[in-house]
Structure 1
Amino acid sequence: MDQIPTFGVEEEFLLVDERGHLSDRGPEIVEAFERPDGDVQRELARCQVELATEVCHGAEELLDQLTHFRSRLAGEAAKRQLRLIATGTPLLAEEHPPSLTPTPRYRRMGEHFGLIARTGTTCGCHVHVKIPDRGTGVRISNHVRPWLPVLLALTANSPFDSGHDTRYSSWRHVLWSRWPSAGPPPLFGSLGEYESRVAAMLESGAMMDRGMIYWDIRLSEKRPTLEFRISDVAATAREATTLAVLVRGLVLTALSELDYAPPPVPVEVLRANLWRAARDGLDGSALHPETGRLTPTPALVGQLVERVRGALTETGDIGFVVESLAWVREHGNGAQRQRRAYAANESLTDVVDLLSLR
């Protein structure tokens, strides 16, 4: 493995009509997308489209790819008088739940999980970081899992759902937590323990297949990567890139600390801290990953940067992160900007305009 691991990002978007209501033409956008590089995929609901970057080596390369793919997807939607919006949950109220994409697997999911699959459409941002092997990936997960609430609070981008202010910053996280295989990863003693937990969940029916390992950090089943699934889809390509760079920094830092025991944060404490981060976003406080003390979340973001500063310096990303986070401090994260856009005219269509890909 190279000294600095490669990484990539997957982003999910909602397809809407000109008024902002969900459109079921997502599969049509996917089929029309010419893909000499990267990838575009169908998702569970027909109103969703997912893009995946190629393997990237640095922040600017990843930012260029995300900007390029977002623009191309926006263009395909515009040809059909549609728009793609970057938010974790649907903004406007709909008469009926979104229809599922009619593949055999998605049909089975709808039948097996009922309204969990048919309601609560959500869009996330998934970051993949290359790892030496699966056993090392499990050990990295153990070390970085306490920082998941900070990542969630920073990237929260779903305060509205179906015409309502949810009073949360990341309602996507709350909805996604209903899946029986979702939530923070346990603290694993070994790769064997990871696999035994997966086998038990498959046997119980809580998962239909290994693609439904929905932990906030999981081993990828298709790539030699550790996949972070904690975040809402980012409102901008730069915010998605910043998340990916911070995640890679956490992985690199953990790689240098594998000789030490990971922080023994119980899964129920981590789940509670994630709930708090989902509710308050950057406006509140969360438990410090190392001390357990309630700490203002903006201060935790600064401490996260300090924790991974050595790794960010090594990758050449420290300047990018500092500049990006300064912009977030000035303008707010996605949830804060959504609420500000709504407050101006008390109009969710203004929020749709804010979040539309261009």
Structure 2
Amino acid sequence: MAKSSNELLVGVEEEFHLVALDSGRLTPAAMALLELLPGDRYSAELQETSIEAHSAPWAELGDLADDLTATRRTLIGTAEEQGLGVVASGTVPLGEVSGCVVPPVPRFRRMHDLYRTLAGEQLICSVQVHVDVPGRDRDLAARVLRRLAPWLPVFLALSASSPFWRRSDTGYASYRSLLWQRWPTAGPPGSFDSAAEYDALVAELVAQGTILDPGMVYFDVRPSSHLPTLELRVCDACPRVDDVVLLAGLFRALVRRECAAVEEEFRPVRAELLRSATWHAARSGLGGPLIDPATGRPAPSGEVVRDLLTGLRPLLEDAGDWDLVSSLTADLLERGDCAARQRAVHARGGSLRAVVAGLATETRG
């Protein structure tokens, strides 16, 4: 679809776990499955227990939802023919590190050689949202990172879907985010005044041998390494397409607002406080307080989410997204985050296998 006169295109990359239908356990089958799938929409991940799907870029959120639904339908149908289930969540309760298989991709093999256990325990999945940068201006993309950063923990809380790790309840709503934070470039972005400054940092990290290439810059939000977009990377994978569309709609509006305000005075939040806010979101999801970006103090999660929504209303209305995004926000706040739903199944006497089955059902939609 062509870009509308007042809107930025938005696209999504979703990562999915592959599980055995009979046991719910992670299964390393991605490479075999990729041979049966369209090559332009699906790709390998760092472990053969997961696979990535890519949407096209869209101006309308309804079109994005249709695209994501169709891409999932193809993946799930193909997987089920092979006795596999597909799960969109940060972690799967029945994942075991001993079942790891590295895809025969040279870059992934190099990552495993360099990062060892860190790469071997990458049994996690996320969803990434790409939004066009106005004018495809890379300087603007670098400069706006500091303005986006305080709101990113709210996106993590909305997506929290990983309370279980290796058969245990971790006590966190998003344990995936804690596992992810171990990578040397993961976490809140720094403050940059230009694309050249950002690129120089990336080049120095590569020169030091800390990362293999610019694609390994894992900031919570970053200028994409291969597209003219800003990329939201903080979120857990979400079993419901509606929740992915909500993240996309909110992030696009936030990008529009902060890019328009980039020349206004802004005091960047200290990295330590950004990490603190991210930890609070990972710990509680929507089930406890979040750090309010406006005050720097804990506040009820629903209040912080609604403040974000209200602040973005003019942008959402201008894009024609308000009715959909406000409705999806209300629905998510009413039912609670995915981590809470998983724990509810388990608390009712359901096995971890039942938790996985519920996630697969939600992913199927």
TM-score range, shorter chain: over 0.9
Deviation at 1:97, TM superposition (A): 4.3
Question: What residue number does 2:50 align with?
Answer: 48
Distance (Å, rounded) in 2 between the aligned partners of 1:14 and 1:247: 24
Deviation at 1:95, TM superposition (A): 6.6
Distance (Å, rounded) in 1 between the aligned partners of 2:93 and 2:61: 30
Distance (Å, rounded) in 1 between the aligned partners of 2:267 and 2:155: 17
Question: What residue number does 1:101 align with?
Answer: 103
Question: What residue number does 2:268 align with?
Answer: 264
Out of 83, 86, 92, the position equivalent to 1:84 is 86
Amino acid at match of 2:295: T
The answer (yes or no) to whether the contact 1:22–1:98 under 8 Å persists in 2 is no
Deviation at 1:262, TM superposition (A): 2.9
1:1-358 correspondence runs (5 A): 2-18=5-21, 19-34=23-38, 39-94=41-96, 96-131=98-133, 132=135, 133-356=137-360, 357-358=363-364
Structure 2: gaps spanning 5 or more residues: none
CA deviations on 1:87-121 (whole Å, 9 max, x unpaired) are 11121153714211121111100000110001131
Distance (Å, rounded) in 2 between the aligned partners of 1:28 and 1:313: 44
- What SS does the aligned partner of 2:268 have? coil
Distance (Å, rounded) in 1 between the aligned partners of 2:290 and 2:161: 17
Deviation at 1:315, TM superposition (A): 0.9
The answer (yes or no) to whether the contact 2:189–2:221 under 8 Å persists in 1 is yes
The answer (yes or no) to whether the contact 1:51–1:69 under 8 Å persists in 2 is yes
The answer (yes or no) to whether the contact 1:97–1:119 under 8 Å persists in 2 is no
Structure 1: which 4+ aligned runs deviate by more than 6 Å? none
Distance (Å, rounded) in 2 between the aligned partners of 1:271 and 1:338: 26
CA deviations on 1:236-274 (whole Å, 9 max, x unpaired) are 111001000000010111122122123410111101110
Identity of aligned residues (%): 37
CA deviations on 1:201-221 (whole Å, 9 max, x unpaired) are 112222111110111111112
The answer (yes or no) to whether the contact 2:100–2:120 under 8 Å persists in 1 is yes
Distance (Å, rounded) in 2 between the aligned partners of 1:189 and 1:162: 42
Deviation at 1:189, TM superposition (A): 2.6
Superposition TM-score, scaled by structure 2 size: 0.94
Structure 1: gaps spanning 5 or more residues: none
The answer (yes or no) to whether the contact 2:139–2:195 under 8 Å persists in 1 is yes
Deviates more, 1:155-164 or 1:134-143: 134-143
Distance (Å, rounded) in 2 between the aligned partners of 1:223 and 1:78: 32
Q: Once superposed, what is the RMSD of the aligned Cα atoms?
A: 1.4
CA deviations on 1:146-194 (whole Å, 9 max, x unpaired) are 1011111111111111101010000110000000011110122322221
Superposition TM-score, scaled by structure 1 size: 0.96
The answer (yes or no) to whether the contact 1:97–1:118 under 8 Å persists in 2 is no
Distance (Å, rounded) in 1 between the aligned partners of 2:265 and 2:42: 39
Distance (Å, rounded) in 1 between the aligned partners of 2:359 and 2:93: 10
Amino acid at match of 2:168: H
Distance (Å, rounded) in 2 between the aligned partners of 1:261 and 1:44: 41
Distance (Å, rounded) in 1 between the aligned partners of 2:339 and 2:204: 37
- What SS does the aligned partner of 2:210 have? coil
Distance (Å, rounded) in 1 between the aligned partners of 2:30 and 2:214: 25
Distance (Å, rounded) in 2 between the aligned partners of 1:201 and 1:106: 18
The answer (yes or no) to whether the contact 2:28–2:99 under 8 Å persists in 1 is no
Q: Residues 12 and 95 (structure 1 numbering): CA distance in 2 closer, same or farther, change over 3 Å?
A: closer
Amino acid at match of 1:142: R
Distance (Å, rounded) in 1 between the aligned partners of 2:50 and 2:95: 16
- What SS does the aligned partner of 2:35 have? helix
Deviation at 1:296, TM superposition (A): 1.4
